[in-house]
Structures are given as structure tokens and as C-alpha cells.
Homo-oligomer: A and B are copies of this chain.
Amino acid sequence: MSTQPRQHHVRWAGEDTLRMPPDRAALLADLLGKNGRLHVVSNRGPITFELDPDVPAGLTAGRGAGGLVTALVELGRHAPVSWTAAALTEGDKTVSRFLQELGDPAGPGGNGSADHAATLALVRALIEGALPHHDVRLRYEVLPEDVFDGYYRVVANPLLWFLQHQMYALPLAPNIDSTMVAAWRQGYRAANERLAEAAVAAAGGAERPLFLVQDYHLYLAPARIRELLPDASILHFTHIPWPPDSIWQVLPQGMRRAICEGLLASDIVGLQTDRYANHFMDTVASFVRDARIDPDSRLIRWRDRRVRVRTYPISVDPDGLAEFARSAPVEERVARLRGRLQRVRPTSGGPDAPLVIVRADRIEPSKNVLRGFVAFEALLVKRPELRQRVRFVAVQAPTRTSIPEYAHYAAAVREVVARINGLAEPDDQPIWIYDGSDYAMAIAALRLADVVMVNPVVDGMNLVAKEAVLVGERDPVLLLSETAGAAEQLAADSLIVAPADVAGTADQLERALLMPADERRARTRRLRYAVREQDIEWWLTRQLRDLAAVRRGEHPPSRRLRDTVRRIEEPLLS
């Protein structure tokens, strides 16, 4: 890890930190040919444009946050990329036709006015500023408001998100009523077709173009791409959990079958973990009558096609993260946190600085922050002497507060925090809350952590677990829910909890706080090795390698992740 602080303006986008490994360069040349491009299709593009009357040009551009964009945006520095996405903001909509003009110089140009030329130059400059040295062509599709609404605000969120994170109380929700049916037909299906058609247009007649289609917003897009371009290579990757068929079974048959069949138009269906891959194959077996599944080779034969199911656990860029963790904004926050920790009154016999538990996540019910705090409270009741010695630093971002379930959940979290903190002075409070939209603060807290709590109810992967392993300076103990996707890679050296197990979480928290330094060091060393070994490079190269194998008519190897969850059995409650 570099010790040299450096200036960074965006999320660990170290400009030259990622270097293209030679095997991937060869892979890309092989896959894309001389002038070919990778075609990424996703809901959210890598840059979000915002109208802003306070800046001279009236327009700003920001790099998107979130694991998906962060991971994929690096692509554009290694290979020419065309990226098709939905226009989400007014700014996105405004620049949409300029993006198209930039992406397709041979296409219909503007009106030739000076205004037009100036805006075109501005948009080009904004892209270059946000994604320097990337060969990225953006295509932002403007969907009619009612299409977007049904697609995004009704079907993708909350329906698919809630369902796939098992967040519904099924006797009460979801309700697939006529509104939902209309949102499915005229929203989700229509948006998927529009985005697929736009991506195909962006491919502009290239031979065997290669599409990387992203996530639960776009389950139907592969089918439309395949319809238009039977020879295309398509990999769809789902970033969120794929639940068992019993969860999908509450949905109308036509809906879930369309989802399965949309995905089966891909050459490769990618998922985060072996568990989700098994669930996906079970789901297809249950709902797609004419599919034949070979679970051992993870091959699905459907109609005249062969579809591979593969796992690509997403990860972080270790070098870029290391640099950002030493950047000025993070250093400034580390200093601030250290200062506050030093103000905590030392207890007799205890260490000078308190032990620090850290969590960093959105206040999203699936992240399980409520049970995490309740477990902490139970520990303080059992071991009152810890109240002075321990601080729980929670870097938390409110999210989707317009959804009632989220608002209620956030209120319940605030209530529990208030109960635990009571009337103590700020520095004496057991829980310290920081704004989670400040990513530098999250990394700063993770640097100082003795214990990192990652206890989601269900989580596709969870990158905080991987970031914590890399940036922690005190050999932090990782307390990890086995229902986080990351557990399939990291369970062996974490302290594993079951998400509803409040008592067990309190026990593991105690064990983590008391763990001897040498054990912490040994675990951290092995965890770091695991995360560095299977980083974001590995995630992407694995996909490209499998696609190349399929192109050659080979069967890409069906690798299993380490099935560590099963091997780890804590003697809790037995």
C-alpha cells in the first residue's frame, strides 16, 4: 500500500493505476478485432449530467457512484467502449442528442449553429474531465416518462429489488395488480426493448459485436439483442442476489418465464456467487418447460441454444483504492476521527484509544443496520465496561426515502441509536453517526477500524467487506453475514454471523473485540491475499476469457468458488 498521500477528485479513480494485463490485451484483440468496441448496456450510465444554472455552461458532469459504474467505468481505459444507458436526469436528456452526435460522427449532425457547436464542445470536455483518457462513446436513451416510470419506479424498484433481496412480507406484498401489469408491459418490457435497440444501433453493423448487459433492470434486453443480431456475443451479469425459485414463484408465470427466457438469450448468464448460480438454474428448471439443465457443467440447453451459467464475484481495484485511502480528503478525515477518538476518556487499565467498530452502508433495510445496533446494545448490556472502551462509527447514507418501507426503517434506526446513546455527550456516546454520502469518510473510518460489521440480510456481493480488508490499518476483524455474496470468498477468515441472529452477532462482536493481535494479523493477511487475488481485473478478465472460449466453440471451465460458508460452522447455539 502506498504511503504517499495524493490528490483525488473522484472516487479512487487513480488515473494510471490500472494497467492492462497482457493476457487481457490479447483477449480484447481476439474478441473485438481491429476496430471493434465493447458494448455495455446498463440502466445508469457512467456519467450523470446535471443542469446547473450556477455554473457558466449550465451543465455539470459527475462520475456515477455505486459498484456497477465504478467497476465498469475502468473498461474504457483498456478497450474502446460504447455504453448505452437510460437518460436518468434532465441533464442526461439534454445531452442525449449531443452524445449521439459524438458517438456517431457519420450520423446526422446538429443544426450547424454556434450554440450547437459550443454545447457539443462542452459535452466533449465534460466527458474528458470525468473520464480522462477513456475511449468511451456514450448513448443515453431518452425514455418517455410513463415508460421510464413503469420500468424504473414500479418494476425494477421496488418490485425486483425487494423480491430479489427477500424483503417482502409475502402475505402482504407484492401485489401484481393491473397497474403493475401495465408497468411490466408498457414500462419494463418497452424500456428493455428500447435500450437493446439503442445498443444494437450503437454497434452499427459490426461483425459479431460483444454486449455486456448489466443487472436486474435489463433482464429482457438480451432477448431483443439476440432477435436483431443472432450472431452477437452476449453476457448478462446480475449484480444483486438471485433468490430461490420459491421466491420467484409468487410472481405471474408469464413474468418470471419472460425474465428467465430474456436471460437465456445470452451466451453466458453471470451471477455473483455459486449459490445464486444454483438458484438461477433451479429457477429455469422450475419455470422454463423446454430447458434442460446440466448442473455439473452449468450448461442450459434451451431450444437450439447452449447457455452457460457462471459466477463472477465483483471486486475492487486494490491499487486505486490504496491511493485514494491516502489522498488528502481521506487523510483529513482520518485526522479528524483520530482527534475525536483521543478525546474519549481513557478508562483505568484500558488502552488509551477506544476500540473502533465501523460500518459503512446505505440505510437500506437489506443492510440490516437495525439488528447490528441491537446486537451492539446487547453486548453493552452484557459487558457494561465496554461502554467506555468501544465506539461504533457508522457512516450511513439515507436512501430511497420516498419509499415508505425505507422511511420507516430509517426512523427505527434513529430510534435505536437514540436509545443506545441516551443523553451522553457526543464523544461519550457509544454510536457515532457520520454522513455516508461522504465516501472519503467511509474509507477513513475503515482505515481506523478494529472491527468492521457487514451483516446484511441478503447482499449480492458487498464491496465494503473487500474495501475494509484492504484499507484497514489495525488488522480489522471482519464480522460478515454469511448471506453477503462476499462470504463465498471471505468466510474462512471472517467471523460469520447469520443475519437474524442478534444474540450470535453480539457474541461474535465480543469475540472480535477480544481477539488477540496475532490472530487478527494472520486473518487479515489471508483476507488481503484473497481480495487482491480476485480483484476487479480478475472479475472482468474472467468474463472476457469465458466469452472468448464460447466464441471458439469451447465450453468455458465451470469453476466453483471456495464453498467456505459450508465449511465454517460456529459452535453457536448447538
Query: Chain A 453-471, CB within 8 Å of chain B: the 1/0 string?
Result: 0000110000000000000
- CB neighbours of A496 from chain B (8 A): 253
CB nearest neighbor in B for A276: B246
The answer to whether A175 touches B498, judged by C-beta atoms less than 8 angstroms apart, is: no
Query: Measured between C-beta atoms, what is the minimum distance from A459 to chain B in Å?
Result: 12
Contact A365 B172 (CB under 8 A): yes
Q: Is the CB of A500 within 8 A of B572?
A: no
User: Using Cβ atoms and an 8 Å threshold, which residues of chain B touch A371?
Assistant: 175
Task: Tell me the A417-463 residues at the B interface (CB within 8 Å).
Answer: 457-458
Residue of B nearest to A249 (CB): B483
Copies per assembly: 2
A416: min CB distance to chain B, Å: 12
Are B249 and A170 interface neighbours, CB within 8 A?
A: no
Interface with B: A7-15, A37-45, A545-553, A563-571, which one?
A563-571
Is B501 in contact with A176, judged by CB distance below 8 angstroms? yes
Within 8 A of B (CB), among A174-216: 174-178, 180-181, 184-185
Taking A180-B503, A246-B244 as contacts, is the C-beta distance between A572 and B175 under 8 angstroms?
Answer: no
A320 within 8 A of B: no
B574 touches A257 (CB 8 A): yes
Stretch at the interface among A100-108, A131-139, A161-169, A385-393: A161-169
Bound form: Cα–Cα A166–B245 in Å: 13
Contact with B along A361-387 (1 / 0, CB 8 A): 000011010110010001000000000
Report the bound CA distance from A244 to B370 in whole Å: 25
A366 touches B499 (CB 8 A): no
Question: Quick one: CB contact mask for A81-124 with B, threshold 8 Å, 1 for yes?
Answer: 00000000000000000000000000000000000000000000
Residues of B within 8 A of A256 (CB): 498
- A504 contacts partner chain B, Cβ-Cβ < 8 Å: yes
A106 to chain B: closest CB distance in Å?
39
Contact, CB under 8 Å: B503 / A176: yes
C-alpha gap A176/B501 in the complex (Å):
5
What are the residues of chain B within 8 A of A275 when measuring CB–CB?
246
Q: Is A573 on the interface with B (CB-CB < 8 A)? A: yes
Q: How far is the CB of A278 from chain B (nearest CB, A)?
A: 8
Q: Are B243 and A246 in contact (CB under 8 A)?
A: yes
CA distance A249 to B243 in the complex (A): 12
Inter-chain contact B253/A569, CB cutoff 8 Å:
yes
Which residues from chain B contact A368 at a C-beta distance below 8 Å?
Answer: 171
What 0/1 pattern do residues 240 to 259 of A give for CB contact below 8 A with B? 00011111011111111110
A286: CB under 8 A from chain B? yes
Closest to A295 in B: B295
Taking each of A170, A365, A498, which has the highest tally of chain B beta carbons within 10 Å of its own beta carbon?
Answer: A170
Interface residues of A in 500-515 (CB under 8 A from B): 500-504
- Chain A residues numbered 247-281 whose CB sits less than 8 Å from any CB in chain B: 247, 249-258, 275, 279
Q: Is the CB of B571 within 8 A of A254?
A: yes
| A141-178 interface bits toward B, Cβ cutoff 8 Å, 1 = contact, 0 = none | 00000000000000000000000001111111111111
Contacts of A251 in B (CB 8 A): 498, 500-501
Contact of A500 among B176, B185, B457 (CB under 8 A): B176
| Chain B residues with CB under 8 A of A173 | 500
* B498 touching A378, Cβ below 8 Å: no
Any chain B CB within 8 A of the CB of A482?
yes
The smallest C-beta distance from A215 to any residue of chain B, in angstroms, reads 20
**A246 CB contact (under 8 Å) in B279, B374, B378, B573:** B279
Are A181 and B503 neighbours in the complex by a CB distance under 8 Å? yes
Q: Is the CB of B503 within 8 A of A177?
A: yes
Contact A500 B253 (CB under 8 A): no
CB-nearest residue of chain B to A482: B249
Is A257 a contact of B569 with CB atoms below 8 Å? yes
A289 within 8 Å of B by Cβ? yes
Query: A177–B371 Cα gap in the complex (Å)?
Result: 10
Q: How many angstroms from the CA of A279 to the CA of B181 in the assembled complex?
A: 30
Q: How far is the CA of A365 from the CA of B287 in the complex (A)?
A: 26
- A167-B171, A504-B176 known; A572 vs B457 contact (CB < 8 Å): no
Known A171-B167, A243-B246, A286-B566; contact A252-B573, beta-carbon cutoff 8 A: yes
Judging by beta carbons under 8 Å apart, are A170 and B167 in contact? yes
| Contact between A409 and B500, CB atoms less than 8 A apart | no
Q: CB within 8 Å of B: which residues of A?
A: 166-178, 180-181, 184-185, 243-247, 249-258, 275, 279, 285-287, 289, 365-366, 368, 370-371, 374, 378, 409, 457-458, 482-483, 496, 498-504, 565-567, 569-574
- Sample (24) of A-B pairs whose CB atoms are under 8 Å apart: A166-B170, A166-B246, A166-B247, A167-B169, A167-B170, A168-B169, A170-B458, A171-B368, A175-B371, A176-B498, A177-B502, A180-B503, A246-B458, A246-B483, A249-B482, A250-B500, A251-B501, A252-B503, A253-B574, A254-B573, A258-B573, A258-B574, A285-B566, A286-B566
